[in-house]
Structure 1
Amino acid sequence: MITFFLIGLLVHVVFFISIFDIYFTSPLVHGMTPQITPLAPPASRLVLMVADGLRADSLFTVLPDGSSRTPYLRRVIEERGTWGVSHTRVPTESRPGHVALIAGFYEDVSAVAKGWKENPVEFDSVFNESRHTWCWGSPDILPMFAKGATGDHVYTYTYPAEEEDFASTDASRLDSWVFTQVKSFLESAKSNSTLRARLLQDKNVFFLHLLGIDTNGHAHRPMSKEYLDNIGLVDAGVAELVSLVEDFFGHDGQTTYVFTSDHGMTNWGSHGAGHPSETLTPLVVWGAGVNNAVKVTEPQQFTDRSLQDWKLEHIRRVDVNQADIAPLMSSLIGVPIPVNSVGVLPLLYLNNSALFKAESMYTNAIQVLEQFKIKMMQKKETTLSFLFTPYLQLTDIKQAEFIHDAKKLIQLEEYEKAISLCQSLISHALEGLVYYHTYDRFFLGCSVVLGFVGWTSYVIVVILKTHASLIRQPGHQIPSRTLKRLCVGVTVGITGFLLIQRSPLTYYIYCLLPVPVWYSVLKECGTLMDLKSLPSLPLWKCFGYFVLVAFGVELLVVSFFHRAVLTAGLAILSVCPILSGLFIKAKACSVSWFVGCVLLAFFPLMPVVGRDPVIHLVTCSGLLTLLTSACYLWSSQQRNSLRPGDRRQLIMQMLHVAVCAYVPSLTHSSLQQKQGLPLLNQIISWSTLGSSMVVPLLSSTRLFHRLLSIFLSLTATYLLLSTGSEALFPPVLSWLMFTWIHIEQEAMLSQGVSSRQDLYTIDFSANIDIAKIRNLKLDDIRRSYFFVFFIITAFFGTGNIASINSFDPASVYCFLTIFNPFIMGGLMMWKVIIPFIIVMCTFETIQVVTQLSSRSLFLIVLVISDLMALHFFFLVQDYGSWLDIGTSISHYVIVMSMTIFLMLLSIVTHILTSKRLTLWRRNKLHFT
C-alpha cells in the first residue's frame, strides 16, 4: 500500500509538473543586441506615474454636475496631451502589470509564482536602459526592478511594509508620502551639486508608484468616498509635481509625463481576473515629444460605449496594449527598447517628424526580430535537421527582404510605407515567437496523454486484481521475456532520440514514464480476460455503470465552467433514495438527505464574488452550529454514549464557536469606525487557527463524537474567515455529510452485507485495519463518485477559489489588515481546505461503516479524478484570449492538484479521525 501510494504520488506530480513545462515555460530569450533609434529624442527625461488599482472609468467619468474629480488631468486630456485606454492582461495583479509597463512583455505565470518582491528571472527594462532612475513607492514593486538592473543607477525609496494597512484610517497617505518625498528630493538637489548634475543629464526616469488608490479600493470598494477622494488627491499631487519639475528644470520643455495604472478593480474591491473593470486602465501622456489633444468630429469606433459617459467623444482616443507603453517611453527619451519587449510603438502619441516615426518603428521591428532569431536558432540547434520545420512567414530569406525593403523605403522618404512594412514584420515576428515557443507542445502532450491513459488502466487492473476475487485463467498472460525486450528497445530508442536533440531532463521523464506504466498494464492484461469468471460483476452491469460514471464525470467537468450545474447535480442526488427504493426502508434518513441536498444546492447559485459583507449571516451560522451541536449532545445524553470528559470538551468547543461567531462582527464594526483591528480579536483568531487541527485529537475516537469535534473546530476557524452567506456552507455541508453516513449504513443493510451498528458507539481506532472484510461491489463506484462530487461542491460551492483569484482581503481582516500576499493567500487557501476536510472525514467514516478497505474505495476515486484530469488536459488551449488560455490551464491544474492533495489529505484525515492525543500527568503528549 505504501509503495503504491508513493508511486502514484510520484506519477501525479510528474503529470502536474508537465503542464508547466508545456504551457508555463518562460518566453524570455537572452543574447539580443539592444536597438536604439539613431535620431535625437524629443525628451531628456521621463516622469512615469502609476496609480495602482485605478480604473479607467473612475478617472475619465465626469460628475453629475459636469465637472471632473481630476480637473488637472482632465485639462491635460482636452488641451495638451494624448489619452486612451491601456488594455492589460490576466492576471491583473501589480507585479505582472508593472513588468508589462516597464519591461514591455507579459510575465509568465511561473515567474510570478517564483517571487513577488524580487526579480526571479533576468529581463531588461526601461529603468535598466536609462542613465539614472529614481523610484518612490511600495516595497513590493520597486525592488524587483532595482535588482534586475545592471550597475547602480536605479535608486529606490520605499515606505515600511507595515504602512500598507487595509484598516488604515486613510490609505491615501501612501500617495501623499510619495509626493512629499519627491518634493523633498528636488529641494535637496538644489543644494547638492552632484545630485543636481545627475538630474540635468539626459535619459533619466522618475517613477512614482502610487498605492493608496488600490489600498482604499480593497478596504472600502471603488465606489466609496475614500477611493474617489484618493483619486482627487492624486490629481492634485500630479499638478503640484509637474509644477515642481518644470520649475527645477527651468521650463526647458524636455520633460515627458506618463500617467497610467497597472490594473483596475471590480466593484467589490478585488482584481486578478479578466473583468473589463480590471483590464481597462487609463493612459494620459503629455509633454516633450507628445501630440497635443486632437479634436475629432467623426464618431470614434470602440467596442465600449464609454466615450459618451466620459464626455470625451470630441477628443481623439488612442488605445494601446499595456506592453506598448515600454517602447513608447524608450522612444521619447532615446534609450534602447527593452530587449524582451513585445510591445508595438503607438505612433499616434508621438509629435515628431515622419522620419523619426519611421526610424522608431524600424528600431521596434528589429528589436522584436532579434528575439525571433534567437528563438529560432535555439530551436534549430536542438532539433534534428530533417525534423525541423521553420516558421514559413519569416525564413532567413524573407527576413533579409523585410529589412532591405524597410531601409530602402526610409531612404526614399516613403515613410508611411516603411511604417506599414515594419508593423507587418513585427506582427510576423510575434507570431513566430509563439510558434517556436510552442514547437514541442504536441510531442510532449502526446507523451503525457500516453502516460495518463496507461496509469489509469493500471489502477483499474489493480482494483480488479486485488479487490474483485477474480478466478485466474491460465494462458492469458503475455510472456514476461517478450515484454521486457520490447520495453528495453523502446527505452533505448526514446533515450537516443532525446540525446541527439539535446532535450531537457524533464523531457526524458515525460517520454520514458509511459514505458514502465504500460509494461505493468500489459503484464496484468490477463486480468481483464478473467472478468467473465466474476458472477457478481456481469459485463452488462459494468457497462451500465460505466455509462453512468462517464455521464457523471462530464457533469463535473461542465461544473468547472458553470457552477449552477452543481445545483442540478444535487437535485438529482436528492432523489436517489427514492429511485433506489431506500426511501421505503429509511424514510427519516431519506427526507433528511433530500432537505440537505436542496439547501446545499442554493450555494452554487449565489454570486462568486462581489458580495457585500453581511456579518449577521456569520453570526447566524454560529447559532446554527450551536443548535445542531446541542441536538447531538441531547441525543448522546439519551443514549448514554458520551463520557463526562468528552461532554465537557464539546461544551468548551461550543463556547469557542460562540466567541468566534461574535469576533467578525466586532472586527467589522471596529474597522468601519476606523479604529483598526482589536488586538484581542487578532489573538483569538490566530490561536483558533493554530489549535484547529489539535483540539479534535483530544476528543473521543467514537465515530460521531470525533466528527462533531472536528466540525466544531473547523467551523470556528471558518467563521473567522467569512464575511457573509458562505459562513452557512459548513453547517449545511456537515448536515448532509452526517446524513450520508446514515444513508450508506441503510444501503448496506438493505443489501444484507452488514448488520446494524450504533453509529454513536463505533470507534475509529478499533476499525483501522478492515482490509479484505469484503470485496468491491458496483455500488462502491457510486460511493466513490458521490465523494468526488462532494469534493467539487466543497471547492466551488461558495466561490472560495474565485475569492483567491480576485483576492478580496476582507475575509482575513480578523487575522491581519496589513498587506501580505503570502499570509493572506495562505489563509484563503485554508478556508478552501476546511470543506475538503469535512468531506474527507466523512469518506473515511463511510469506509468504516461499509466495512470496505480504504484502499479500494480510494482507488476508484483516483480513477474518476484522473478521467477528469485527462479531459481537462484535452481542453487546454493555446489560442483565443489570454483569459481563455489561463482558465483552461487552471482547470487542469486544479484537478491535478486535487488528486495529489487528496492523496496527502487522506493521511491527514486518517490521523484526524482515528488518533487520540492523550495528556499524561507529567504534561507529556503521546498518540494512541
Structure 2
Amino acid sequence: MLLYIILGLLIHLVFFASIFDIYFTSPLVHGMTPQFTPLPPPAKRLVLFVADGLRADKLYELDENGNPRAPFIRNIIMHEGSWGISHTRVPTESRPGHVALIAGFYEDVSAVARGWKENPVEFDSLINETRHTWCWGSPDILAMFTKGASGNHVFAHNYDAYSEDFGAQDVTKLDTWVFDNVKEFFHAARNNQSLFSKLNEDKIVFFLHLLGIDTNGHAHRPSSRDYLNNIKIVDEGVKEIVSTLKDFYGNDGKTAFIFTADHGMTDWGSHGAGHPLETCTPFVTWGAGIKYPQKVLAQKFDDTYLQEWKLENWKRQDVNQADVAPLMAALIGVPFPLNSVGTLPVDILNSTDLFKAESMFTNAVQILEQFKVKMAQKKEATLPFLFTPFNSLSDSKQINILRKARSYIKQKKYDEAVSLCKELINLALKGLSYYHTYDRFFLAFNVVLGFVGWTSYASLLIIKSHCNLTRGVSKEVKKPSHLLSCSFIAVGILLALFLLIQACPWTYYVYCLLPLPVWYAVLREFPVIQGLVTLLLTFPPSHFVGYLLLFILGVEVLVLSFFYRYMLTAGLIAFAGWPFITPLWTRAKSTSLSWIFFCLLLAVFPLMPVVGRKPNIFLVVGAGLLVLLLSLFVVTSVLKRKDSFVSEELVLHLLQMLSTVLSMCVVYGTHNSLLKKQGLPLINQVVSWIILASSFVMPLLSPLILFDRLFSILVSSMSTYLLLSTGYEALFPLVLSCLMFVWIHMEQETLPQSVVFCKQKVSSIQFTYNTDITQFRDLYLDDIRRAFFLVFFLMTAFFGTGNIASINSFDLASVYCFLTVFSPYMMGALMMWKILIPFALVMCAFEAVQLTTQLSSKSLFLIVINISDIMALHFFFLIKDYGSWLDIGTSISHYVIVMSLTIFLVFLNGLAQMLTTKKLKLCGRPKSHLT
C-alpha cells in the first residue's frame, strides 16, 4: 500500500508539474538589440507616481458635497494634461502591476512557481535603461527594479518593512514619508554639487511608490473615510512634489509627469481577480511632451463613468497598463524595454508628427525583435521537416512592412506609417503567442494519454483486488507477452531519440515516456479486462446505464461546483433525500432526520456571499458559544461515567473550553482595538499563537474512543478557526462536523448484518492504527457512493464559505488576531491553515467511516483518486489560452486546484490518521488506558 501511494504521488506530481511546462512557461526571450527613437525627446526627466491600490472611480468622482476628491489632479485633467483609465490584467497584484507599468510586459506566469515579492525572472525595464533613477517607497516594490539593475545608476530610498502595518493608527504616513523624503532630497541636492549635476542630466526618472491607499483599503475598505482621506493626502503630496520640481529646475518645461496605479480594489478591500473595480486604474499625465486637455462634445465608452465623474467634455484617453512603459521611454528618449509588449499611445504625445511616426516605428521594431528571437529559438529546436512557421508574418512580409513604413515616413505620410506599425505590432504579438504555445498540443496529448492510462490502471487494480475475473483464463493468457515488452521498449527508445535530436528539456522526456510504462501495466492486466467485459455483458443494460449515468451526473455536479457554488447546495439537498430511497428511513428514523436537517443546514453556506461581506464578530462569538454548549453536554456525560480516567478527560475538556473562551475574547478584543486604531494588542497576539500551537497537541491527549477523539479534534480546531474568522464562516466547521458525525452513524446503518462491527455502538469503537485492517472484505456498490460522498464533502469544505480559485476571496482581516504587519508568506500560511481545518474534519470523519464499515483503505483511496482524476481530466480539456485573462486564469486554476487536491489527499490521509490513531501518553499513566 505504501509503495503504491508513493508511486501514485509521483505520477500525480508529474501531471501537476506538466501544467507549468504547458501553460506556465516564461514568455520572455533574451538577446534582442535595444531600440530607441533617433530624435531629440520632448522631456529630460520623468516623474512616475504609482498610488498602490487606487481605484479610478474613487479618484475621479466628486465627493458628497460635489467637490473634487483630488482637486490638483482634477485641475491637471481640465487644464494641463491628458487623462483616462489604465486597464490592467489579471492578477491584479502589486508585483505584476508594477512590472507591467515599468517593464511593459504582463505577469510572467512562470513566476507563480518561483517567487512573490521580487520578480523572479530576468527582465529589462525602463529603470534599467535610464541614466539615473531615484526611487522612494516600499522595500518590496523597489527591490524588483533595483536588484540586478545594470550599472550603479539606481538609487532606492525605502522605509522599514514593519511600517506596513494594517492595524496601525495612521497608515497615511507611508505616503507622507515618501513626499517628505523627496522634498528633503531636492533641498539637500542644492548643497551637493555631485548630486546637483546628476539631477540636471537628461534621461532620468523619479519613481514614487505610494502604499498608503492600498493599506487603508485592505484595513478599512475603499468606501471608508480613511481610504478617501488618503486620496486627498496623496493629491496634496503630488501637488507639493510638482511644485518642488518646478522650483528646483526653474520651471524649464522639460519634466513629464505620470500618475497612475498598479491595480484597483473591490468594495470589500481585496484585489487579485478581474473585477472592473480591480482592473480600472487612473491614468493622468502632463508636462513635457504631453497633449493639453481636449474639449469634446460627446464620447462613447462601454461604461457610464464619464457622466458620474462630470468629465464627459474632456477627452478620455484609455491605455493598457503595458503601454505606459513605451510612453515613458519615448518621452525621455531611452531605449524601449526589451521585453515590452506595450503599444505606444501616440495620441497622448504633444510632439511633431515625425517624432510620433519614428517612435511608433521604434516600438514596432522592438516587438518584432522579440518575435525574431522566439522564432529562431523554436526553429533551432525543431526538426526542419516538422517546423511550421507563423505564416502571417513571414520574413518577406516583415521586410515589406518595415520598408513600406520607412517609405511613408520619408514621404511625410505619418498617419499611414503609424497605422502600418500598429499592424506590424499586432502581427508580431500574435506570432509571439504562436511560438510560445508551439509545443502545447504535443505535450497536452502525452499528458492526457498518461492520465487516461493511470485512471484505467487504478480501476483495474480495484477490480482485480475484489473480483476474481481471471478464473478460467489459461496461464498463457495471464502472462504478459514478450513481444509486448519489446514493443514498448522500442517505442520508448525511438521517442527518446526524437526528443534528443530536438534538444528538448528533460521534463519533455518525463511527459512523453511516462505513458509507456503506465499503458504497459494496463495491457498486462488484459485477462482482467477480458473478464470485466464478460461480466458487464451479463449485467442488465438498464442497470449498467443507470449506474453510469448517475456516476457521470455526480462528477458533473462536482465540476460545475467550481463555477457555480450553488451546485453544492443542489447536491446537499439531493443527499437529504438519500434515506427515502433506501431502507435507512425505516431502519434508523431519528438518525435519518438528523441527516436531513444537517444536510439542509449545510446547504445554506454555498448560497452565502463569498466576498464583500462585512465583519460580524457577533456571529463568530455565537459559534464559540455553540461549541461551549456542546462541550458542556459532553462534560456532563463524562461526569456520569465511573471509570478511573474521568478526571483526566475532564481536565482536557475544561482546557479546550478555556481555549474556546480565550478565542472568543481575543477575536472580540482585537476587532474593537482595530476599530479604535489602537493596533493589535500584544497579549491577544501571544494568546492567538499559543491557541494555534495547542490545537495540534490537545486532540492527541484524548482517548482513542471514536466519538471522544473526533469531538476533541472538532473543539481544538474550532478554537483556531474562530481566531481566523470574521463572520458567518465561523459556523461552517461546526455544522460540517455535525453532519460528519451523523454520516458515520448512517454508514453503519447501511451495512449488511453479516458485518461484525455493525453490532458495536459507534461510541464504543476505538481508533487503531492499521493501514488496511479489512483487506479481505469485498467491495460493494455502496463503497463507490462512500468515495463519492468523501469527494463531495471535500469540495464542500473547499467552496462552502469561499472560492479558493479566486484570489479576492481572501480577506486579510482573517489573520489580524495573529499579525497585522504585511507578511505574504505568514499570512498565506495562516489562510491555508484556515482552509485545511474543514478538510481535516472531513478526513477524520472518513477514517471513522472506514473503521466502522470495514472498508478497504487501499481500494477506497483508489476510488477517490479516480474520481479526482476524472475531474482533473475534465478541467484539463477546459483550460483556455484565449479570451479574457480572467477566463484563462480561472481555467488554469481549476486544473491546478483539482490536481493539488489529488496530491493533497495523500497528505490529508496521513494527517487524519495521525489525529485519530496517535495518543500522547502522560508520564506515569498505565498502558491499559489505551485499551
Counterpart residue identity of residue 262, structure 1? D
TM-score, with structure 2 as normaliser: 0.97
SS of the residue corresponding to residue 330 of structure 1 reads helix
Which moves more between the two structures, 472-481 or 880-889? 472-481
Counterpart residue identity of residue 894, structure 2? H
SS of the residue corresponding to residue 759 of structure 2 reads coil
Alpha-carbon distance in structure 2 between the residues aligned to 1:243 and 1:869: 58
Partner in structure 1 of residue 811 of structure 2:
808
Q: CA deviation at 1:543?
A: 4.6
Partner in structure 1 of residue 511 of structure 2:
510
Matched, 1:228 2:228: yes
Counterpart residue identity of residue 345, structure 2? P
Q: How does 1:492-891 map to 2 (within 5 A)?
A: 492-531=493-532, 538=539, 540=541, 541=543, 543-635=545-637, 643-749=646-752, 754-765=757-768, 769-799=772-802, 801=804, 804-891=807-894
Q: CA deviation at 1:423?
A: 0.3
Counterpart residue identity of residue 910, structure 2? I
SS of the residue corresponding to residue 804 of structure 2 reads helix
Alpha-carbon distance in structure 1 between the residues aligned to 2:399 and 2:694: 68
Alpha-carbon distance in structure 1 between the residues aligned to 2:170 and 2:176: 10
Alpha-carbon distance in structure 1 between the residues aligned to 2:754 and 2:64: 71
Alpha-carbon distance in structure 2 between the residues aligned to 1:496 and 1:186: 64
SS of the residue corresponding to residue 190 of structure 2 reads helix
Partner in structure 2 of residue 443 of structure 1:
442
Is the Cα–Cα contact under 8 Å of residues 55 and 280 in structure 2 kept in the other structure? yes
Q: How does 1:206-245 map to 2 (within 5 A)?
A: 206-245=206-245
SS of the residue corresponding to residue 156 of structure 1 reads strand
Partner in structure 1 of residue 32 of structure 2:
32
Alpha-carbon distance in structure 2 between the residues aligned to 1:749 and 1:276: 57
Q: CA deviation at 1:281?
A: 0.1
Query: Per-residue CA shift, 1:218-256, capped at 9, x if unaligned?
Result: 111101111000000000000110000011011110000
Partner in structure 2 of residue 80 of structure 1:
80
Is the Cα–Cα contact under 8 Å of residues 135 and 207 in structure 2 kept in the other structure? yes
Is the Cα–Cα contact under 8 Å of residues 272 and 807 in structure 1 kept in the other structure? no
Counterpart residue identity of residue 650, structure 1? H
Q: 1:877 to 1:315 in 2, by over 3 A?
A: same
SS of the residue corresponding to residue 588 of structure 1 reads helix
Query: Per-residue CA shift, 1:736-761, capped at 9, x if unaligned?
Result: 00000000001114686753212111
Q: 1:820 to 1:103 in 2, by over 3 A?
A: same
Query: Per-residue CA shift, 1:537-576, capped at 9, x if unaligned?
Result: 9575555333211110001000100000100000000110
SS of the residue corresponding to residue 209 of structure 1 reads strand
Counterpart residue identity of residue 520, structure 1? A
Is the Cα–Cα contact under 8 Å of residues 46 and 206 in structure 1 kept in the other structure? yes
Is the Cα–Cα contact under 8 Å of residues 52 and 214 in structure 2 kept in the other structure? yes
Is the Cα–Cα contact under 8 Å of residues 794 and 835 in structure 1 kept in the other structure? yes
Query: Per-residue CA shift, 1:797-843, capped at 9, x if unaligned?
Result: 00052675454210000000001111111111110010000000011
Q: CA deviation at 1:529?
A: 2.1
Is the Cα–Cα contact under 8 Å of residues 45 and 202 in structure 2 kept in the other structure? yes
SS of the residue corresponding to residue 783 of structure 1 reads helix
Which moves more between the two structures, 409-418 or 683-692? 683-692
SS of the residue corresponding to residue 592 of structure 1 reads helix
Alpha-carbon distance in structure 2 between the residues aligned to 1:683 and 1:342: 48
SS of the residue corresponding to residue 165 of structure 2 reads coil
Alpha-carbon distance in structure 1 between the residues aligned to 2:361 and 2:616: 57
Alpha-carbon distance in structure 2 between the residues aligned to 1:333 and 1:849: 75
* Structure 1 residues without counterparts, runs of 5 or longer: none
Partner in structure 2 of residue 263 of structure 1:
263
Alpha-carbon distance in structure 2 between the residues aligned to 1:600 and 1:866: 26
Q: CA deviation at 1:64?
A: 3.4
Q: 1:777 to 1:251 in 2, by over 3 A?
A: same
Counterpart residue identity of residue 425, structure 2? I
Q: CA deviation at 1:625?
A: 1.4
Query: Per-residue CA shift, 1:146-180, capped at 9, x if unaligned?
Result: 01311111111110011000011111010000000
Is the Cα–Cα contact under 8 Å of residues 609 and 803 in structure 1 kept in the other structure? no
Is the Cα–Cα contact under 8 Å of residues 764 and 848 in structure 1 kept in the other structure? yes
Counterpart residue identity of residue 656, structure 1? S
Q: 1:684 to 1:463 in 2, by over 3 A?
A: same
Counterpart residue identity of residue 217, structure 1? G
Counterpart residue identity of residue 760, structure 1? S
Counterpart residue identity of residue 815, structure 1? F
Is the Cα–Cα contact under 8 Å of residues 119 and 148 in structure 1 kept in the other structure? no
SS of the residue corresponding to residue 116 of structure 1 reads coil
SS of the residue corresponding to residue 343 of structure 1 reads coil
Q: How does 1:283-432 map to 2 (within 5 A)?
A: 283-297=283-297, 299-432=298-431
Q: 1:636 to 1:746 in 2, by over 3 A?
A: farther
Counterpart residue identity of residue 592, structure 2? S
Q: 1:369 to 1:444 in 2, by over 3 A?
A: same
Is the Cα–Cα contact under 8 Å of residues 812 and 827 in structure 1 kept in the other structure? yes
Partner in structure 1 of residue 456 of structure 2:
457
Counterpart residue identity of residue 318, structure 1? Q
Counterpart residue identity of residue 111, structure 2? A
Query: Per-residue CA shift, 1:778-804, capped at 9, x if unaligned?
Result: 110000000000000000000052675
Alpha-carbon distance in structure 1 between the residues aligned to 2:536 and 2:58: 70
Q: CA deviation at 1:638?
A: 5.2
Matched, 1:912 2:915: yes
SS of the residue corresponding to residue 140 of structure 2 reads coil
Is the Cα–Cα contact under 8 Å of residues 82 and 317 in structure 2 kept in the other structure? yes
Q: 1:307 to 1:400 in 2, by over 3 A?
A: same
Partner in structure 1 of residue 278 of structure 2:
278
SS of the residue corresponding to residue 85 of structure 2 reads strand
Q: 1:583 to 1:636 in 2, by over 3 A?
A: farther
Query: Per-residue CA shift, 1:622-644, capped at 9, x if unaligned?
Result: 11112223333444555668733
Q: CA deviation at 1:536?
A: 14
Counterpart residue identity of residue 756, structure 1? K
Q: CA deviation at 1:533?
A: 7.9
Partner in structure 2 of residue 897 of structure 1:
900
Q: Count residues in correspondence.
A: 926
* Structure 2 residues without counterparts, runs of 5 or longer: none
Q: 1:113 to 1:239 in 2, by over 3 A?
A: farther
Query: Per-residue CA shift, 1:672-729, capped at 9, x if unaligned?
Result: 1111111111111111112222221111111111101111111110000000000000
Q: 1:677 to 1:917 in 2, by over 3 A?
A: same
Q: CA deviation at 1:200?
A: 0.3
Q: CA deviation at 1:140?
A: 0.9
Q: CA deviation at 1:469?
A: 4.1
Alpha-carbon distance in structure 2 between the residues aligned to 1:609 and 1:473: 60
Counterpart residue identity of residue 696, structure 1? P
Is the Cα–Cα contact under 8 Å of residues 369 and 429 in structure 1 kept in the other structure? yes
Which moves more between the two structures, 589-598 or 748-757? 748-757
Identity rate, percent: 60
Q: CA deviation at 1:920?
A: 2.6
Give the aligned CA root-mean-square deviation in angstroms.
Answer: 2.0
